[in-house]
Structure 1
Amino acid sequence: MRTPNLWDVPRSTCAAGPLRCDSRQVVDGGGARRVAVVVVTYDSAPLLPALVASLDAGLAGLDWELVVADNASSDDTVARVRELLPGATVVETGGNLGYSAGINAGVAAAAPHDAVLVLNPDVRLEPGCAATLMDALDEPRVGVAVPRLADAGGRLIWSLRREPTLTRAMGEAFLGATRAGRVPALGEVVTDPASYDAAVDTDWAEGSTQLISARCWAEVGPWDPSWFLYSEETDYGLRVRDAGWRTRYVPEARAVHLEGPSGTAPGLRALLLTNRVRLVSRHRGRVVGSAFWALTVAREGIRVALGKAGTTVALKALLSPRLMRAERGPAWVAAAVDAG
């Protein structure tokens, strides 16, 4: 049974910037382990009933609180949260600040905890999921634990990822992501179904369902809000790895991710591709980043020549020094569309 409102913590936002959004750890060793469930919402009202309905069974055996960081929804998301779970903490961020900033705001408002469970609103936990993930955090230097994910039809979601590299980008360009992903050196997305049958460490994992230990959070720091959307979980996962922590895939823990459309709108595709270039430059250096940019431009140019929808906007964004340097956010997406 869930224990609501275990601690009286004021609601707040993380307006001071990422370096001050600290994860507060439990200081005593007694009782059930405590989890801050952090959900970032944006016009998410229709998704919330099923999410909330899955939490009691999904977090069985743990003390937990729900913290919802709402990025200025225009629907009744906030009212719906308070109706469904009156004990939840709601953080109204005051704007569409992006996924990372929402996570940071939620963690900053949470009571002391042993771990943070980051969830998308369209995730539904299977019974016992969180406790199984929590057990994985007891392994040496496991800082992040992720479950086996299925879509609404029960099909396996390829959620495991390798570090983006120039070689993997070329492999996916020539072979396609599915075939390249079966070879570790050639694909970023792990696409061999057998790879999802046993527990394994991974460079990073898709960000919809992640249990992060408070100790790992304290050492690695919060998520970087400069991404706004796309590449934020890649950046965080690589930072976790580079700090000497492990991201552990736990197939016995299960969840459903409904997976809405991603990166299909022209402005969002532009954001996705330009953020990937930024990511590789940041983690692999300027020379590799420049080569990755050139390959991305070439691939998108071919898509434009083939008449693929939405590609002109992305190509122009990649070729615009102003957009490549500009701060990401809703205004950036609008500017990319206008430029395209």
Structure 2
Amino acid sequence: MAPDVVVVIVTYNSAPMIEGLLDSLGPALAGLTADVVVVDNGSSDETAAMVRARADCRLVEAENDGYSAGINRGIRSAGPTGDIVILNPDVRLDPGSIRSLVRALDAEDVGISAPRVRSADGSLHLSLRRDPTLLRALGLSRLRRAAFSEHVQETSAYRVAHDVDWALGAVLAVSRRCLDAVGPWDESFFLYSEETDYCLRARDLGFRVRYEPQAGAVHIGAQSGRSDVIHTMQIINRVRLYRRRNGLLRSASYFAATVLSEISWVARGHRQSRAAVAALLRPHRRPPQIMGTGSLIPR
């Protein structure tokens, strides 16, 4: 029989994290059947061996072609049935959370659902996001105004179910209908902005992205670290995403706003932003993992 859901987890040197997530899956499913696929992107630690030793999941070993490539491999390996739940390995799921996320997909035109996320210390994690805009590229989220912040900072927004622009990709459920319509995740991003791109493409096709606070998860975070390369990849991919959805003039303004924002962070002692500014202004300094960044305004 086909499973109710396909759970796809992409790992990379995730040995300290993966078993805690897998142990939380049973209660999170709350009776749903699942094909649990762990796609290991070439880990050099014990991740693959730990997964291989378990009977409650299966392992797909792959080259490290990025997070989206891992998601796509996991989905392909599962076949054409069942809704999809995509998880980071540094997540711990609350009991019943997957069932709640899948139930949210039953509402009309809902293609993606996201849970209420807590940080490791139990505090609310600001996991909901707004569409990228020129004003939101200026780095003025400290003003706590929606016009200037991609992060949804109002705690009241996390109390009730509602539609959102997009949400943190650590835990997302995608309906099979939405997946079939939107297609594969964009592998050119390698890491960061892939969930933004996917949610926006789903909305382009008329699907809703739904926040469901009855589903809960803890995001331990910081597994990928905050290296110069990781931060630079995050910043470059934001510009690339905006460029793909907007004209050259608006994109040039967004690029300039991003440079100014990163310079302001350099002035405040943020070391990784120095590397990001260099990569923004000098295309040859950009991480080789992400594609199509040879022009000044990356695309």
Q: TM (normalized to structure 1)? A: 0.81
Tell whether 2:68 aligns with 1:106: no
**8 Å CA contact 2:232, 2:287 repeated in 1:** no
The yes-or-no answer on 1:285 pairing with 2:259 is no
1:234 has 2:196 as partner = yes
Quote the offset at 1:312 in angstroms: 2.5
Q: Is the 8 A contact 2:232 2:286 kept in 1?
A: no
User: 1:118 Cα shift?
Assistant: 0.2
Q: Is residue 59–residue 130 contact of structure 1 (8 Å, CA) maintained in 2? A: yes
RMSD, matched Cα: 2.0
- Of residues 41, 47, 59, the one that matches 2:29 is 59
Report SS of the residue matched to 1:255. strand
**Could you say what secondary structure the match of 2:148 adopts?**
coil
The answer to whether the 8 Å contact 1:179/1:191 transfers is: no
Matched, 1:257 2:219: yes
Counterpart CA distance in 2 for 1:222 and 1:323 is: 29
Provide the rounded CA distance (Å) in 1 between the counterparts of 2:55 and 2:109. Answer: 36
1:172-206 CA distance string (max 9 Å, x none): 43xxx2443xx332211000000000001111100
Given that 1:41 and 1:121 are in contact with CA atoms closer than 8 Å, whether structure 2 keeps it comes out as yes
Deviation at 1:125, TM superposition (A): 0.9
Q: CA deviation at 1:100?
A: 0.5
Q: Residue 282 and residue 146 in structure 1: after superposition, are their counterparts in 2 closer, same or farther (change >3 A)?
A: same
SS at match of 1:310: helix
C-alpha distance in 1 between matches for 2:225 and 2:163: 27
Residue of structure 1 equivalent to 2:12: 42
Q: Which residue of 1 aligns with 2:206?
A: 244
Q: Structure 1 residue 271: deviation in Å? A: 1.1
The 1:289/1:76 distance shift into structure 2, 3 A limit, reads same
TM-score by length of 2: 0.92
Match of 2:296 in 1: none
Q: Percent identical across equivalent pairs?
A: 45
Once residues 47 and 302 of structure 1 are traced to their aligned partners in structure 2, the CA distance between those partners, rounded to angstroms, is: 34
SS in 2 for 1:68: strand
> Separation in 1 of the partners of 2:42 and 2:92?
23
CA contact (8 A) 2:137 2:261 kept: no
The residue that corresponds to 1:143 in the other structure is 111
Distance 1:52 1:263 in 2: 22
Q: What residue number does 1:96 align with?
A: 64
Equivalence map 1:43-192=2 (5 Å): 43-83=13-53, 85-93=54-62, 95-170=63-138, 172-173=139-140, 177-180=141-144, 183-192=145-154
Give the aligned partner of residue 283 of structure 2. Answer: 321
What SS does the corresponding residue of 1:222 show, helix, strand or coil? Answer: coil
Q: Provide the C-alpha distance between the structure 1 equivalents of 2:42 and 2:224, rounded to a whole number of angstroms.
A: 20
In structure 2, distance between residues paired with 1:325 and 1:80:
30
Tell me, in whole angstroms, the C-alpha distance in 2 between the residues paired with 1:107 and 1:262: 23
Task: Identify the residue that residue 183 of structure 2 maps to in structure 1.
Answer: 221
Deviations 1:288-320 (A, max 9, x none): 111011111122233334543133221110012
Q: Distance in 1 between matches of 2:284 and 2:148?
A: 32
CA distance in 1, matches of 2:29, 2:164: 24
Q: How far, CA to CA, are the matches of 1:313 and 1:41 in structure 2?
A: 26
Q: CA 1:291–1:263 in 2, change beyond 3 Å: closer, same or farther? A: farther
Query: In the TM superposition, what is the alpha-carbon distance from 1:286 to its structure 2 partner?
Result: 1.9
Quick one: distance in 2 between partners of 1:214 and 1:239?
15
- The aligned amino acid for 1:167 is L
**Rg larger in 1 or in 2?**
1
- For structure 2, the residue ranges without an aligned partner over 5 or more in a row are 294-299
Q: How far apart in 2 are the matches of 1:87 and 1:152?
A: 25
- Matched positions, count: 292
Q: Which amino acid aligns with 1:267?
A: V
Paired residue for 2:265? 303
State the secondary structure of the residue aligned to 1:185. Answer: helix
Structure 1 Cα separation of the partners of residues 31 and 247 of structure 2: 44
Q: CA deviation at 1:113?
A: 2.9
Distance 1:272 1:113 in 2: 32
Report the CA distance between 1:37 and its aligned residue.
0.6
